[in-house]
Amino acid sequence: MPAVRAENLYKVFGRRAAEAVEALSDGRHRDEIADLGVTAAVIDASFEVEPGEIFVVMGLSGSGKSTLIRMLNGLLPPTSGTVEIDGTDITGLKKADLRKVRSEKVSMVFQHFALFPHRPVVENAAYALEVRGVAREERHAKAQEALELVGLQGWEDKLPGQLSGGMQQRVGLARALAADTEIILMDEAFSALDPLIRRDMQTQLLELQASLGKTIVFITHDLNEAMRLGDRICVLRDGRVAQIGTAQEILDHPANDYVATFTEDVDRTRVLTAASVMVPAAPCAAPTDGPEEVLRAMREQDRDFCFVLDADERLLGAVSADDAEAAQDGGADDIAEAVKPVEDTTAPTTLVADLFAAAARSERPLAVVDEEDRMLGVIPRTALLEGLAMEGSRS
Amino acid sequence: MNPMTVPVPRLPVGDSFDASIEWLRTHLSGLFDVLGAVIGACVDALTTLLAQTSATQFTLLACAVIAAGLLRRGHLRPVGIAAAVWAVLYIAELAGGAATAVVGSMPAAVFSPAMSLYQAEYVYPPLLLALLLLAALVVLSFTYGRGTRQELLAALTCVALFAVTLAHFTLGVQLSLVVLPLFVLLAYVVVGWRVALFTVLGFLLIISMDKWDNAMSSLALILVATAVAIVVSLPLGILAAYSDRFSTVVRPVLDFMQTLPAFVYLLPAVAFFSIGAVPGVIATVVFAMPPGVRLTELGIRQVDKELVEAGEAFGAPDWAILRRIQLPLALSTIMAGVNQIIMLSLSMVVIAGMVGAGGLGNDVYRGIAQGNVPVGFEGGIAVVVLAIYLDRLTAAITRFSPAGRAAAAAR
């Protein structure tokens, strides 16, 4: 069961909203119905968010993303369509039941932090629990834990005004974490922070997510941020969903020109991973192979080295052409003695941006290995450049 | 008659107003009587408290100071228990003379040293109860408040109480000179030494002009009028902040209330409540209330929408958002409204003198009516001193509010 499900969601502001929904569902653009005197913020949005994933909604200002996220916790009632949280349709709920859903299932982080300036940090973090009626001692203990998770221990008794922007948003995040809801909505949570702090916060969010596994709906106007955080990305345009997919799907197969122009500006090195640019490892040899055989393989591939793998494809090391020749001259039966360990290896999930330094250091292609040291492929410098060039070829 | 004159029918505006007052008076007289009695009693009690303070009241005042210190340090429960016990005993005394009976049954030797110190002729049970409460609070201060400055506060308060009662009741120093330091202390604690210095000089001026009693009765009238105005304007302001429709309806009414010449209020006020302090208070409330409503509305509307949304997003009910988010954050604006209410009350107090509300207004009105410049001018100066004192005090009190502390922290 998806954690959040939106089906044919419409939000139209104005008196003749129902008429507008009808016209829009026939596929008319929102500018065409301007004569109705309505503003169509979200048009026919359908998507499912799976438990434990970060679902990023990305769009420019005016694309309806803030309206969309506010319908997911019922702050705005949809004009038409349904929103399901954990399988319950919240669009028809009574006010009290809706409040219960908000306090127990969905919490929110705001663009401008929305911290209560008159309450100390710990009472801000404990707010959701206070609303739920949790006793003071217990809610302070939980708030304290949440503050420690975001690295704010020691700041509990300060007022929000005494904290920097980045720290304030950590309190905002702690407030949502202390609520201990499965779903967290983040409305442009990092947009008001300066770029360096923003990167820190993204990193921290990814680290927290790795251990907590919340369902996060994250709104942003920054595609780089979307690509970095999102397990899946939903691109909104003029209130309609333009495309939903993983970062790579959107980069490689943009659904239309609009999405394509967006992706032009994306720093691909921060989206593509080692796994997506690596090529099959060659030449490879087993430690039991004879030197002549290995040297021939090198010549065929026009290389002066060879990776050495065991029977389970684990990377043992590499042999250089010089060492192989020395072994041949020394009359060795196999190359086992000549194998030297490979220093530069990388995991398949490493971002391409983080590969450049290693690639520059190493004479040979980088070996990509999994956690058990199994060889997955290699990244020659040319492959890195090709990965970048795909961006240029489209523009 | 000029041939071009176009006849415009005469609308009976004034007459119908008069008729409606008459109707209200005959049909709702009971309500107005109750209202008048309550307000009159409040003004009288407050005037007595300010101008003829009794030893019991001084003692209770000292209790309040010590209790405030304990409450600030978070000892709600012991203070609450002590206050509740006192209240029960006091009510028992009022109802059946319980304390009197207990006092009567005890040997006279227990009380005689204190009685001879104050040259008292009998033991006044309410005073005894107040002293017991004071003793309880002092004990609490020295047990719960150990190591904090609460002990010091309790000790100093007791010393001050002893000094005040000794000076006034035993040595016979006039009350105004005894109370003056209390006003000064309040100004010093809430605002600072400059205003405290002004208070010393200004209030000494009032005493030297022999306007003290009148100033205190005006102060009582203003405080009651302000309290009533706040009680009425706060809910109206909250409603106006929540409902645009109510806001558009109430705004012209407020304009009307504020711009109608203040004298005009006295006519219906006298019609309903006859002459005296009560119509003065009522006219003052009507005249002074609008800024309270306006600034309450403004304060609540000014609270950042995202904060209200945050409250909603975490599932807080509307009243909790109002009480815990909107009102605390609007408090400094609301207090600006209270400040305005007090200032307008002060200007109205003189006009209320015309209907016999007493106090400084009486002096000013007498000065005008008799062409007596000295009396009128001295009354006016006393009003100014009172106005400045109250203005500085209410303007500074917001820094004790949560939002005020937040603003100071952000600086």
Cβ contacts (< 8 Å) between B406 and chain A: which residues? Answer: 117-118, 159-161
For residue A392, what is the enclosing H or E element? Answer: helix A381-394
The residue of B304, B305, B314, B335 whose CB has the most chain A CBs within 10 angstroms, and thus the best one to mutate to test that interface, is B314
Q: How confident is the model at residue B410 (pLDDT cuts 50, 70, 90)?
A: low
Cβ contacts (< 8 Å) between B316 and chain A: which residues? Answer: 99, 103, 131
Could you tell me if A147 and A213 lie in one domain? yes
Cβ contacts (< 8 Å) between A110 and chain B: which residues? Answer: 306, 309-310, 313
Could you tell me if A126 and A249 lie in one domain? yes
| Burial of B232 from C-beta contacts in 10 A (0-12 / 13-18 / 19+) | middle
Show the tokens assigned to A50. Answer: 């799976």
Could you tell me if A145 and A211 lie in one domain? yes
Q: In angstroms, what separates the C-alpha of A230 from chain B's closest C-alpha? A: 23
Determine whether the interchain pair B315/A104 forms a contact, defined as Cβ–Cβ distance below 8 Å.
yes
Partner residue opposite A118 with nearest CB, options B310, B315, B402: B402
A258 and chain B in contact, CB less than 8 A: no
Q: How confident is the model at residue B411 (pLDDT cuts 50, 70, 90)?
A: low
**Which domain CATH number covers A184?**
3.40.50.300
Residue of chain A whose Cα is closest to the Cα of B410? A161
- What is the spatial order of strands in the sheet that A232-237 belongs to? A106-109, A183-187, A215-220, A54-58, A232-237, A240-245
A107 and chain B in contact, CB less than 8 A: yes
Determine whether the interchain pair A108/B310 forms a contact, defined as Cβ–Cβ distance below 8 Å.
yes
Could you tell me if A249 and A171 lie in one domain? yes
Sequence letter at residue A141: A
Partner residue opposite A118 with nearest CB, options B314, B317, B406: B406
A191 and chain B in contact, CB less than 8 A: no
**Which domain CATH number covers A312?**
3.10.580.10
A116 and chain B in contact, CB less than 8 A: yes
| Confidence at residue B115, expressed as pLDDT on a 0 to 100 scale | 72
Cβ contacts (< 8 Å) between B326 and chain A: which residues? Answer: none
Residue of chain B whose Cα is closest to the Cα of A180? B314
Q: Which residues contact B196 (CB under 8 A, 6 or more apart)?
A: B184, B185, B187, B188
Determine whether the interchain pair B313/A116 forms a contact, defined as Cβ–Cβ distance below 8 Å.
no
Determine whether the interchain pair B329/A179 forms a contact, defined as Cβ–Cβ distance below 8 Å.
no
Residue of chain A whose Cα is closest to the Cα of B317? A99
The torsion angle over the Cα atoms of residues B334, B338, B341 and B345, rounded to 10 degrees, is 180
Show the tokens assigned to B231. Answer: 């009680």
Sequence letter at residue B345: S
A128 and chain B in contact, CB less than 8 A: yes
Could you tell me if A113 and A242 lie in one domain? yes
Partner residue opposite B409 with nearest CB, options A100, A127, A161: A161
Q: What distance separates the 2 farthest-apart alpha carbons in chain A?
A: 91
| Burial of A8 from C-beta contacts in 10 A (0-12 / 13-18 / 19+) | middle
Could you tell me if A145 and A258 lie in one domain? yes
Q: In angstroms, what separates the C-alpha of B318 from chain A's closest C-alpha? A: 10
Q: How many CA within 13 A on the CB side of residue A271?
A: 26
Could you tell me if A195 and A247 lie in one domain? yes
Q: Cα B258 to the chain's mean position, in Å? A: 22
Most confident range, picked from B325-329, B353-357, B398-402 = B325-329
Q: What sign results for the dihedral spanned by CA atoms A169, A170, A171, A176? A: positive
**Strands A366-369 vs A375-379: parallel, antiparallel or unpaired:** antiparallel
A24 and chain B in contact, CB less than 8 A: no
Cβ contacts (< 8 Å) between A158 and chain B: which residues? Answer: 409
Could you tell me if A264 and A309 lie in one domain? no
Q: How confident is the model at residue B255 (pLDDT cuts 50, 70, 90)?
A: very high
Q: What distance separates the 2 farthest-apart alpha carbons in chain B?
A: 98
Q: Identify the CA nearest to A171 among candidates A229, A99, A239, A117.
A: A117
Q: In angstroms, what separates the C-alpha of A119 from chain B's closest C-alpha? A: 8
Q: Which residue is listed with tokens 């004990």?
A: B139
The dihedrals phi and psi of B97, each to the nearest 5 degrees, come to 65, 35
Could you list the residue range(s) of the whole structural domain that residue A214 is in? 51-78+98-270
In this predicted structure, the answer to whether residue B398 has a pLDDT above a threshold of 70 is yes
Sequence letter at residue A320: S
Sequence letter at residue B335: M
Show the tokens assigned to B352. Answer: 């209320």
- Among residues A237, A255, A270, the one where a domain terminates is A270
Partner residue opposite B315 with nearest CB, options A103, A112, A161: A103
Integer angstrom CA distances of residue A177 from A32, A131, A224: 43, 15, 25
Distance CA B260, CA A347 (A): 81
Q: In angstroms, what separates the C-alpha of B64 from chain A's closest C-alpha? A: 26
Cβ contacts (< 8 Å) between A108 and chain B: which residues? Answer: 310, 313-314
Cβ contacts (< 8 Å) between A102 and chain B: which residues? Answer: 312-315
Residue of chain A whose Cα is closest to the Cα of B304? A114
User: Are A12 and A39 spatial neighbours (Cβ–Cβ below 8 Å)?
Assistant: yes
Could you tell me if A150 and A167 lie in one domain? yes
Is there a domain that residue A204 lies in? yes
Task: Kindly report, residue by residue over B280-303, the tens digit of the pLDDT.
Answer: 899 999 999 999 999 999 999 999
Cβ contacts (< 8 Å) between B409 and chain A: which residues? Answer: 158-159, 161-162
- Among residues A235, A270, A305, the one where a domain terminates is A270
| Confidence at residue A265, expressed as pLDDT on a 0 to 100 scale | 74
Determine whether the interchain pair B314/A114 forms a contact, defined as Cβ–Cβ distance below 8 Å.
no
Integer angstrom CA distances of residue B201 from A276, B160, B188: 84, 21, 14
Residue of chain A whose Cα is closest to the Cα of B402? A118
Is there a domain that residue A176 lies in? yes
**Strands A54-58 vs A215-220: parallel, antiparallel or unpaired:** parallel
Distance CA A225, CA A94 (A): 36
Could you tell me if A262 and A298 lie in one domain? no
Give first-to-last CA distance, chain A, whole Å.
40
Total count of domains within chain A: 2
Q: A150-159, A272-281, B13-22, B217-226: lowest mean pLDDT where?
A: A272-281
User: Are A299 and A251 spatial neighbours (Cβ–Cβ below 8 Å)?
Assistant: no
| Confidence at residue B141, expressed as pLDDT on a 0 to 100 scale | 86
Is there a domain that residue A129 lies in? yes
Integer angstrom CA distances of residue B281 from A323, B50, B258, B275, B344: 107, 17, 16, 11, 12
Cβ contacts (< 8 Å) between A107 and chain B: which residues? Answer: 313-314
Is there a domain that residue A242 lies in? yes
Q: How many CA within 13 A on the CB side of residue A36?
A: 22
Residue of chain B whose Cα is closest to the Cα of A115? B307
Q: In angstroms, what separates the C-alpha of B326 from chain A's closest C-alpha? A: 10
Is there a domain that residue A9 lies in? no
- Among residues A213, A241, A270, the one where a domain terminates is A270
Is there a domain that residue A167 lies in? yes
Partner residue opposite A75 with nearest CB, options B312, B328, B405: B312
Distance CA B85, CA A154 (A): 41
Could you tell me if A252 and A286 lie in one domain? no
pTM: 0.79
Distance CA A107, CA A130 (A): 14
- DSSP notation for A154-172: T-TTS-GGGS-HHHHHHHH
Is there a domain that residue A360 lies in? yes
Determine whether the interchain pair B309/A111 forms a contact, defined as Cβ–Cβ distance below 8 Å.
no
Task: Kindly report, residue by residue over B339-365, the tens digit of the pLDDT.
Answer: 999 999 998 888 888 888 888 998 999
Determine whether the interchain pair A116/B325 forms a contact, defined as Cβ–Cβ distance below 8 Å.
yes
pLDDT one digit per residue (tens) for chain A, 395 residues = 889 999 999 999 988 888 888 888 887 888 888 788 888 899 999 999 999 999 999 988 888 899 999 999 999 999 999 999 998 999 988 999 999 999 999 999 999 999 999 899 999 999 999 999 999 899 999 999 999 999 898 998 999 988 998 899 999 999 999 999 999 999 999 998 888 888 889 999 999 998 899 999 999 998 889 988 999 999 998 889 999 998 888 888 888 888 888 887 777 777 777 877 888 887 788 888 888 888 888 888 888 888 888 888 888 888 888 888 888 888 888 888 888 888 778 888 888 888 888 888 877 888 888 888 888 888 888 877 877 766 444 43
Region class of A239: left (phi > 0), else alpha (psi between -120 and 50), else beta = left
Cβ contacts (< 8 Å) between A160 and chain B: which residues? Answer: 406
Determine whether the interchain pair B315/A112 forms a contact, defined as Cβ–Cβ distance below 8 Å.
no
Q: What sign results for the dihedral spanned by CA atoms A148, A150, A154, A159? A: negative
User: Are A264 and A394 spatial neighbours (Cβ–Cβ below 8 Å)?
Assistant: yes
User: Are A227 and A273 spatial neighbours (Cβ–Cβ below 8 Å)?
Assistant: no
Distance CA A259, CA B72 (A): 59
Is there a domain that residue A10 lies in? no
Most confident range, picked from A34-48, B48-62, B375-389 = B375-389
Show the tokens assigned to A371. Answer: 């956690």
The dihedrals phi and psi of A320, each to the nearest 5 degrees, come to -85, 160
| Confidence at residue B224, expressed as pLDDT on a 0 to 100 scale | 93
Residue A377: beta bridge partners?
A368
Determine whether the interchain pair A118/B403 forms a contact, defined as Cβ–Cβ distance below 8 Å.
yes
Show the tokens assigned to B114. Answer: 């204190």
Q: Which residue is listed with tokens 């995202």?
A: B306
Give first-to-last CA distance, chain B, whole Å.
72
Could you tell me if A236 and A293 lie in one domain? no
| Confidence at residue A176, expressed as pLDDT on a 0 to 100 scale | 94
Sequence letter at residue B353: G
Residue of chain B whose Cα is closest to the Cα of A101? B315
| Confidence at residue B261, expressed as pLDDT on a 0 to 100 scale | 87
Cβ contacts (< 8 Å) between A75 and chain B: which residues? Answer: 309, 312-313
A13 and chain B in contact, CB less than 8 A: no
In this predicted structure, the answer to whether residue B276 has a pLDDT above a threshold of 90 is no
Q: Identify the CA nearest to A21 among candidates A8, A37, A10.
A: A10
| Confidence at residue B288, expressed as pLDDT on a 0 to 100 scale | 92
Q: How confident is the model at residue B1 (pLDDT cuts 50, 70, 90)?
A: low
A131 and chain B in contact, CB less than 8 A: yes
Partner residue opposite A73 with nearest CB, options B313, B328, B401: B313
| Confidence at residue A393, expressed as pLDDT on a 0 to 100 scale | 44
Question: What is the CB neighbour count within 10 angstroms for residue B253?
Answer: 12
Distance CA B316, CA A108 (A): 13
Q: Which residue is listed with tokens 């028809």?
A: A92
Sequence letter at residue A367: A
Mean pLDDT of chain B: 88
Quick check: ipTM above 0.85?
A: no
Size of interface A-B (CB pairs under 8 A): 78
Cβ contacts (< 8 Å) between B401 and chain A: which residues? Answer: 118
Integer angstrom CA distances of residue B6 from A5, B10, B162: 73, 12, 78
Q: Is the peptide bond before A283 cis (omega within 30 degrees of 0)?
A: yes
Show the tokens assigned to A78. Answer: 């949809």
Cβ contacts (< 8 Å) between B407 and chain A: which residues? Answer: 117, 161
Which 3-state string (H, E, C) describes chain B? CCCCCCCCCCCCHHHHHHHHHHHHHHHCHHHHHHHHHHHHHHHHHHHHHHHCCCHHHHHHHHHHHHHHHHHHCCCHHHHHHHHHHHHHHHHHHHHHCHHHHHHHHCCHHHCHHHHHHCCCCCCCHHHHHHHHHHHHHHHHHHHCCCCCCHHHHHHHHHHHHHHHHHHHHHCCCCHHHHHHHHHHHHHHHHCCHHHHHHHHHHHHHHHHCCCHHHHHHHHHHHHHHHHHHHHHHHHHHHHHHHCHHHHHHHHHHHHHHHHCCHHHHHHHHHHHHCCCHHHHHHHHHHHHCHHHHHHHHHHHHHCCHHHHHHHHHCCCCHHHHHHHHHHHHHHHHHHHHHHHHHHHHHHHHHHHHHHCCCCHHHHHHHHHHHCCHHHHHHHHHHHHHHHHHHHHHHHHHHHHCHHHHHHHHHC
Q: Which residue is listed with tokens 């009028």?
A: B225
Q: A76-80, B53-57, B142-146: lowest mean pLDDT where?
A: B142-146
Determine whether the interchain pair B313/A127 forms a contact, defined as Cβ–Cβ distance below 8 Å.
no
A112 and chain B in contact, CB less than 8 A: yes
- DSSP notation for A126-155: THHHHHHT--HHHHHHHHHHHHHHTT-TT-
Partner residue opposite B306 with nearest CB, options A104, A112, A175: A112
Region class of A64: left (phi > 0), else alpha (psi between -120 and 50), else beta = left
